[in-house]
Structure 1
Amino acid sequence: MPGIVGIVNDKEGKQLLEFMLDSIKYENWYLMDSYVGPLFAIGRAHLGILNPEAQPIFNEDRSLGIFMDGEVYDYDEQRTNLELKGHKLEIGNDADFCLHLYEECGEDFVKNLNGSFVIVIFDTDNRKMIVANDRFRLRPFYYAQNGERYLFASEVKAILEDKSFQKMVCHEAVADFFAFEMILNDNTFFEGIKVLPPASIMIWSNGQWSTRKYWDLDFKEDCNYSKEYYVENLVRVFREDIKRRMKGNHRMGVNLSGGLDSRAIVAMMAKHHNPIHTFTYGVKRGDEAKIAEKVAESLGTTHRFFALEQNFLADDAELGVRLTDGMSNCRHFQWIGLLRQMAEDVDIVFHGLGMDILLGGWTDISNVRIHRKILKARDDSILASLIFQKLRKEGVKDMDSLFSDSYYKIIKDLPKQSLKKALREVKARHPGNKADYIFWRNWTRTSTSPARRSYIEDRVPGYDNDFVDMILEIPQELRFQHRIYYEFIKKLSPNLAKIPYQRTGFAPSAPFFLHEIGKLVKSSYKAFIRKLRTVTRGRISIPDTIGYTDYDEWMRRDAKLRRFFENILLDEKTLNRGYFNESYVRELVKTHMSSKKDYGKELCALLTFELWHRLFFDEQYKESNTA
């Protein structure tokens, strides 16, 4: 995806900067900015949508320069104050404002910025560089040191353009990826390449990096207002949240699902912008498609449905791994191949990333029981064990069998150690809030969301400063199982509250107990059709239309997709890398393809990791596939 790349302390940095920029340029029409000085070489690749003016932008005496990826909102009053103090914002965009705010306030400039951004400010007089990201790390920023040279980029692959950087696999990241389906803390798959934590300021000065937090999730656990108070204020803050994100003369759209978050966004956008394009993807006649169509019809949007072909992953998996640096499982790549088509209609797409987790609590159909135990955990050791159980449900089964004996000895204890490290960062007292903190802090960067920006920009109302601050006041018990979320939707849009919620089959306006029954019915139905497939060895197969995809069955039934998985997973190159138990992987593929048992999640994880290895380690493969 586009973003910022750079090098510090390298006198020959110009050519390397060009290579780094080229590595994140997926289309010839991308716009490129660069600066090469005696100490800093920095560049930006962008779509020309947000802050399209050339960068860097300098202050009046050109002692400070700024590169910015992203945007900030609601700063008219601050801008006026800066101008009254003599600052001249000649460009007048977000980056220009942030540069002068830094000049006025120093490193505290970032504390109250509301937006999605990575900012790099270089101070040539004082031989200093400052990097700041938004509160929720909506835009990743990776960094590494190679000798006396410091490298940074919005994508890991740009750092690897330094051919003298020694590639070594981070075993903790591998363990996390397979155990939890996400990488905890600030690791990547490479030793020595880290990702900047959320709400951080990083400073390079005198040949050293230093990093500190300027904000953290601070649950207001002593608040005890009425449910009505929370609902009223959530609606008020959310309306302002959407309003501030409507800035600019852009074509705007929404990824519309059968859930609650996207319908809330569309309902508020319709008050400020017309026309609104909405996009839904999935299986024909699936729950997501049918519910999204009802929402679109109710609000009068220009709606477009993309029916996913069963073999789309065979075409899109490699691109998805490139765009996500391999840190998102390919089973979440449903929309990767649709980005170009969406870009025909919109410049910016809104989506509900995080809202379901923030407002609904970290719960889902399959592990509500564990979350109930989490809420009652008496001490941190019990809590850690329960969070580990819950995270493991997202990962692959039987890691001790999947990995070779020698490699499993290296990684077997790493997932628990990684979780303990993550828990040390948590400041909340309530066990439910501690669990939510772990997920909020770590999940965003391993979601596929940033990859959207390879073709369109995105806006994420669920991660608005004021909206999150309001949610942090709500007791865990009200957020648990979407209790407050249903009330929020009913207050926000009574009409949309009458349309069913995909996860339960009942409308938000329905009594709460019906949603619990609906979850049970849907989970039981999914279990039934899976069992029917395995018992009959695939002779009877009922399509799964509850979610977006049915990978388990598609990779069995579609010849192209089946060949794609088998050709990669059973390739000698894959099996001989030393990570996995060769006979177990062969049996895993055979068992799944014969419908004896479902191992789609495991096969997708293996495929993702192998494609990452080929794209990022195997230079010959990389060159032959990019020629």
Structure 2
Amino acid sequence: KAVKREFEKDKEYGYKHLVDLSGGLDSRMVSWVANDMGYKEQLNISYCKEGYYDEKISKEIAKYLNHEYIFKYLDDKKFLYDIEEITDKNFCAATYFGITGGNRLLKSLNMKIFGLEHTGQLGDALLSTYYQEKEENFSVPKFGEKGYSNYFECEFDESILKKHKNKEVFAIYERGFLGVCSTHFIRQNYTEVSSPFLDIDFMDMCLTIPFELRKNHNLYLKWIEKKYPDALHFVWEKTRVKMTKCWQIRSKIKLIGVKIKHIIEKYVMKKQYTDTMNPFEYWYSQDEKIREFLNTYYRENEEYLMQLENNDISQIKNMFEHSNAIDKMLVLTAIAGVKKIYVK
């Protein structure tokens, strides 16, 4: 029903279906189920570092389903220059680099022929769980977990925690709605955004499923195996293997190899981590123009930090001068946000 509600809205206005596709399960199943229901006029879009799993897997799935397909590689790193454009579009609600290539890809499309942008957002959180242990999942929520950075000490209104009955619900609201879904502000400059997993009836149903059935995608994978078995014959980016016979063992072996490779790259080759769709630290270390741009933007706009409290100013300056690329970009997001507020 959730899929039908979305895709029928496209048909109502005579639009083609614009569907995100990556190497994960969620966008895959949105596109797959819709295709199975007869919504075949899809354009699948994807973006990541060239050659990463998200590109390989999404390309194979789109070809199998006979969909149109557009891939944008991120190795040109041009989206990292869009600090003020993204901050303007998402009201500084989240990091400017969070949507990566999404903004530039949408900008390049003829959006007059497409309806909703269909995503798989929050599928992992709802059909699986945020935390692997039941006791932790249903424990009292607290601030400061799973952040981009631990460098900056933030103060929060503790009353926010009282609005959520446990860690999982807290994570869905604060990390899911306010974090992951903050990209909607950007996407809505081009079209409306949707995800079947955000359908309120479907969400309510998912959260009534016992923890043991949701944990580790147990019910999710069994549903796919029973209803859409062919979808498991493509690698899952998270496990690095196809979700077929003995996939758990094969995945453990594969991921051990990935860890060994990472250790060799880091300690022997002195190379930043590259096995991800967005290797920010690697790009920063290899590209002098990126380093120069980020540093120049900071120097030219540092004055806007004066609008903040003295303690925050000191922390932010130290954070930029003595931390990694992601921390630096967090600082620039904050500066761009302050600039947006105070520049008349």
The answer for the alignment partner of 1:452 in structure 2 is 187
**Paired residues of 1:311 and 1:558 also in contact (CA < 8 A):** no
Q: Distance in 1 between matches of 2:253 and 2:54?
A: 15
Query: For the structure 1 residues 545 and 377, does the alpha-carbon distance in structure 2 shift closer, same or farther, using more than 3 Å as the test?
Result: closer
Question: Where do 5+ consecutive residues of structure 1 fail to align?
Answer: 1-239, 364-370, 401-410, 428-433, 590-598, 620-627
2:274 maps to amino acid? D
CA-based RMSD of the aligned residues comes to 2.8
Alignment correspondent of 2:121 = 353
Give the aligned partner of residue 200 of structure 2: 465
Matched, 1:342 2:144: no
Check 1:529–1:489 CA distance in 2 against 1; reply closer, same or farther (3 A cut): farther
Q: Tell me, in whole angstroms, the C-alpha distance in 1 between the residues paired with 2:138 and 2:28.
A: 38
**Structure holding more strand per residue:** 1
Unaligned runs of 5+ in 2: none
Question: Which residue of structure 2 lines up, in the alignment, with residue 65 of structure 1?
Answer: none
Aligned residue for 2:228?
493
1:305 aligns to what? Answer: 71
Structure 1 residue 477 corresponds to structure 2 residue 212: yes
Q: Does structure 1 residue 275 correspond to structure 2 residue 41?
A: yes
Which whole-Å CA distance do the structure 2 matches of 1:610 and 1:358 have between them?
34
Q: Within 2, Cα distance between the matches of 1:343 and 1:509?
A: 38
In 1, Cα distance between the equivalents of 2:248 and 2:148? 30
- State yes or no: 1:246 paired with 2:12: no
| Structure (1 or 2) with the greater helix fraction | 2
Compute the displacement of 1:393 (Å). 3.0
* Residues 514, 604 of structure 1: alpha-carbon distance in 2 compared, 3 angstrom cutoff: farther
Give the Cα separation in 2 of the matches to 1:519 and 1:438: 33
CA distance in 2, matches of 1:242, 1:269: 6
Aligned-partner Cα distance in 2 for 1:466–1:460:
12
Match in the other structure for 1:544: 274
d(CA) in 1 for partners of 2:217, 2:303: 46
**Aligned 8 A contact 1:317 1:333 in 2:** no
Offset at 1:584?
A: 2.5
Give the one of 289, 292, 297 matched to 2:55.
Answer: 289
CA 1:586–1:458: 2 relative to 1, 3 Å = closer
Q: Is the 8 A contact 2:304 2:339 kept in 1?
A: no
Q: 1:459 offset after TM fit, Å?
A: 2.1
Matches within 5 A, 1:175-574: 240-247=1-8, 248=12, 249-270=14-35, 271-334=37-100, 335-344=102-111, 346-363=114-131, 371-372=132-133, 375-377=134-136, 383-384=140-141, 387-388=142-143, 391-399=144-152, 411=154, 414-415=155-156, 417-418=157-158, 421-427=159-165, 434-442=166-174, 443-446=176-179, 447-511=182-246, 513-514=248-249, 517=252, 520-521=255-256, 524=259, 527-528=262-263, 531-532=266-267, 540-541=270-271, 544-546=274-276, 548-571=277-300, 572-573=302-303
Give the C-alpha shift of residue 296 in structure 1.
0.8
The alpha carbon displacement at 1:467 in A equals 1.7
The 1:459/1:518 distance shift into structure 2, 3 A limit, reads: farther
Q: Which amino acid aligns with 1:261?
A: D
CA offsets, 1:309-354, max 9 Å, x none?
Answer: 4431343222111111111112312111211223456232200111
Q: Deviations over 1:163-216 (max 9, x none)?
A: xxxxxxxxxxxxxxxxxxxxxxxxxxxxxxxxxxxxxxxxxxxxxxxxxxxxxx
What is the deviation of 1:526?
7.7
Q: Distance in 2 between matches of 1:466 and 1:556?
A: 46
Query: Deviation of residue 601 (structure 1)?
Result: 2.4
Query: Which letter maps to 1:439?
Result: A
Q: 1:325 to 1:422 in 2, by over 3 A?
A: same
Query: SS state of the match for residue 376, structure 1?
Result: helix
**Counterparts of 1:574 and 1:260 in 2: how far apart (Å)?**
42
Return the structure number with greater relative CO, CA threshold 8 A, min gap 6: 2
In the aligned structure 2, how far is the partner of 1:250 from the partner of 1:495?
A: 28
Instruction: Report deviation, 1:483.
Output: 1.8
Task: Read off the aligned partner of 1:268 and give its amino acid letter.
Answer: V
1:377–1:588 CA distance, 2 compared to 1 (3 A): same
Cα gap change, 1:393/1:379 in structure 2, threshold over 3 Å: closer, same or farther?
closer
Q: Distance in 1 between matches of 2:126 and 2:193?
A: 19
Deviation at 1:250, TM superposition (A): 1.3
Q: 2:338 aligned with 1:613, yes or no?
A: yes
Label 1:543 to 1:342 Cα distance change in 2 as closer, same or farther (>3 A).
farther
CA contact under 8 A between 1:285 and 1:545: conserved in structure 2? no
Deviation at 1:255, TM superposition (A): 0.7
Query: Does the aligned pair in 2 maintain the 1:288–1:502 contact within 8 Å?
Result: yes
- Equivalent-residue separation in structure 1 for 2:299 and 2:15 (angstroms): 47
State the one-letter code of the partner of 1:392: E
Change (3 A) 1:575 1:296: same
1:573 CA displacement? 1.6
Change (3 A) 1:275 1:484: same
CA distance in 1, matches of 2:219, 2:93: 32
Query: Is this contact kept in 1: 2:320–2:327, CA < 8 A?
Result: no
Deviation of 1:245 (Å): 1.8
Against the structure 1 CA distance between its residues 340 and 251, is the aligned structure 2 distance closer, same or farther, given a 3 Å change threshold? same
* C-alpha distance in 1 between matches for 2:321 and 2:272: 25
Task: Tell me if structure 1 keeps the 8 A contact 2:128–2:217.
Answer: yes
Contact 1:325 1:612 in 2 (8 A): yes
Letter in 2 for 1:341: S
Aligned residue for 2:221, secondary structure, equals: helix
- Report the TM-score when normalising by structure 2: 0.85
Deviations 1:326-383 (CA, angstroms, capped at 9, x unpaired): 11112312111211223456232200111111112115xxxxxxx43xx235995xx4
The two structures have a TM-score, normalised by structure 1, of 0.48
User: Identical aligned pairs, as a percentage?
Assistant: 21
DSSP-derived class of the 1:573 partner: helix
* CA contact 2:298–2:332 (8 Å) conserved in 1: yes
Number of aligned residue pairs: give it.
329
Q: 2:320 and 2:32 mapped to 1: Cα distance?
A: 49
Residues 144-163 of structure 1: pairs in structure 2 closer than 5 A:
none
Residues 310 and 561 of structure 1 are in contact (CA less than 8 Å); yes or no, is this contact kept in structure 2? no
Q: Given the superposition, is the C-alpha separation of residues 514 and 601 from structure 1 closer, same or farther in structure 2, using an over 3 Å criterion? A: farther
